[in-house]
Chains A and B, each alone.
Chain A
Amino acid sequence: MTASAGLKSPGLDLTSIPERIQSEVQRAIQRSIKGVEYIASSGPSLGSTPKDVLLSRGTLNLYHYRPMADEIYRVPILIVMATTNRGYILDLVPGQSFVEFLLKRGYDVYMMDWTAPKPEEKSLRMEDYVLDFIPDCIRRVQQDSGEQDVSVIGYCFGGVLSLLYGSIHNDGPMKNLICFTTPIDFREMKLFSNFSDRRYFDVDRLVDSVGNVPGDMIMTSFDMLRPASRAFSQVQLWDNIWNDEYVKGYRMMDRWGSDTLPLAGEYFRAITKDLMWDNKLYNDTMTVGGRAANIAEIKVPILHAVAEHDHIVPYDAAKHLITKVGSSDKEEVMLKGGHVSLVAGANAIKRLWPKLDNWLGKRST
Chain B
Amino acid sequence: MADKGNDPAVIWQTMIGEMEKGFNSFASQAMASPEFSKVMNQVGGVTAGAQKQLGELMEKYLVSMNLPSRAQMVGMAERIQAIEGQLNEIKAMLQQVHHNSLTPESGRGMPRPPRTRQPPSADGEKK
Contact = CB atoms under 8 A, between A and B. Distances in A.
A70 B49 contact: no
Contact of A71 (B8, B44, B114): B114
B102 interface: no
B116 A12 contact: no
Interface string B47-80: 0110110000000000000000001001100100
Q: Which 9 A-B pairs have the closest CB atoms?
A: A361-B119, A228-B23, A200-B41, A232-B20, A11-B3, A74-B115, A197-B37, A106-B117, A12-B6
Given A13-B1, A72-B113, A209 B37 contact: no
A119 interface: yes
A229 B40 contact: no
Nearest to A205: B45
A270 interface: no
Contacts of A246: none
Given A13-B1, A119-B71, A210-B48, A71 B117 contact: yes
A69 B3 CA distance: 49
Contacts of A199: 34, 37-38
B16 interface: yes
Interface stretch (A162-170, A188-196, A298-306, A334-342): A188-196
Given A11-B5, A71-B117, A228-B19, 19 more contacts: A12-B3, A13-B3, A17-B2, A20-B9, A56-B85, A72-B114, A74-B115, A108-B115, A191-B28, A194-B34, A194-B37, A197-B37, A201-B41, A209-B52, A210-B51, A229-B24, A239-B13, A361-B120, A362-B119
B90 interface: no
Q: Report which residue of B2, B45, B71, B120 has the largest number of chain A beta carbons within 10 angstroms of its beta carbon.
A: B2
Contact of A191 (B16, B31, B45): B31
Contact of A194 (B9, B32, B85): B32
A168 B85 CA distance: 34
A342 to B, nearest CB: 19
- Tier of interface size on chain B: 35 or more
Interface in B70-103: 71, 74-75, 78, 85, 89
Interface of A: 11-13, 16-17, 20, 24, 52-53, 56, 67, 69-74, 106, 108, 118-119, 145, 147, 190-191, 194-195, 197, 199-202, 205-206, 209-210, 224-229, 232, 235-236, 239, 361-362, 364-365
Contacts of B113: 67, 69-72
A60 to B, nearest CB: 14
14 contacts: A12-B3, A13-B2, A17-B2, A72-B114, A145-B115, A147-B115, A194-B37, A199-B34, A200-B37, A210-B52, A227-B23, A227-B31, A232-B16, A239-B13
